[in-house]
Amino acid sequence: MTSLAPDLDDRELTVLALAGRQAAYGALMRRHRDTVWRLARGHVSDADEALDITQETFVSAFAALARYDGARPFRVWIARIALNKCRDWGRRRTVRRFFAFARPIDDALSIADIGATPEEALQSQGELARIHAAIAMLPMTLRQVLLLRTIEGMSQAETAQVLGVSEKAVETRLYRARRKLSDMLEG
């Protein structure tokens, strides 16, 4: 397998992937998997579920790669697919809850910072869990904007493209999301 030049842009990588170059698929996935995982994690608040959604997102994206419009940023396209997968997950959640009697403990998967005392690590994990829970409680329209703008650092225009709304709607939703999240965390 030959390696690809690291300076290839997403459009060039999609052309190579469609031509059968497996390394191009890998390069696209490495470039965007963290973004997709963070979006999923922000929606589902469970690392394992977020990983499943991330995998589903890339399987769907690569199956539909021929429909990707190279004039648009790949990042926006894959984020939209990820959000759709998160919505699908939300629809199936009720059924999964019916069959699942216990949730895995997320804390068992994390490793405490060696420099932190056990009390500090516990407090930090608790605060992080509280923030994740508060984000998960936001209405979907506010949560999506918050995740795309603040966590993923997308521009207002990119966020508007992903969500199919105006830039003004993104601005308004972000303001409301931050305010609501602040109120939730203070209360």
Is 1 within the bounds of a domain? no
- Residue 36 resides in a domain: yes
CATH of the domain at 151: 1.10.10.10
Output the average pLDDT for the chain: 82
Which residues span the domain enclosing 125? 117-187
In a domain, 77, yes or no: yes
Q: Is 79 helix (H, G, I), strand (E, B) or coil?
A: helix
Confidence (pTM): 0.62
Report DSSP state, residue 5.
P
pLDDT tens, residue by residue, 29-80: 999 999 999 999 988 878 888 999 999 999 999 999 999 998 889 999 999 9
pLDDT in tens, 156-178: 999 999 999 999 999 999 999 98
At 17, which CATH number? 1.10.1740.10
Residues 179 and 147 grouped into a single domain:
yes
Q: Same domain, yes or no, for 100 and 130?
A: no
Shared domain for 177 and 144, answered yes or no, is yes
Distant-in-sequence, close-in-space partners of 132: CB < 8 Å, separation ≥ 6:
41, 42, 45
Q: Residue 112 falls within a domain, yes or no? A: no
Q: Encode 51-61: b = buried (16+ Cβ within 10 Å), e = exposed.
A: eebbbbbbebb
As for how many domains the chain has, the answer is: 2
Q: Round to whole Å and give the CA distance between 138 and 144.
A: 9
Domain termination site, one of 64, 85, 105: 105
Question: 124 and 44: one domain?
Answer: no
Do both 90 and 16 map to the same domain? Answer: yes
User: Who has greater pLDDT, 120 or 46?
Assistant: 46
Task: Supply the pLDDT for residue 87.
Answer: 84
121 confidence band (pLDDT: 50, 70, 90): low
Q: Assign 98 a pLDDT band (cuts: 50, 70, 90).
A: very low
- Whether 171 and 84 share a structural domain: no
Q: Is the pLDDT of residue 182 over 80?
A: yes
3-state SS assignment for residue 32: helix
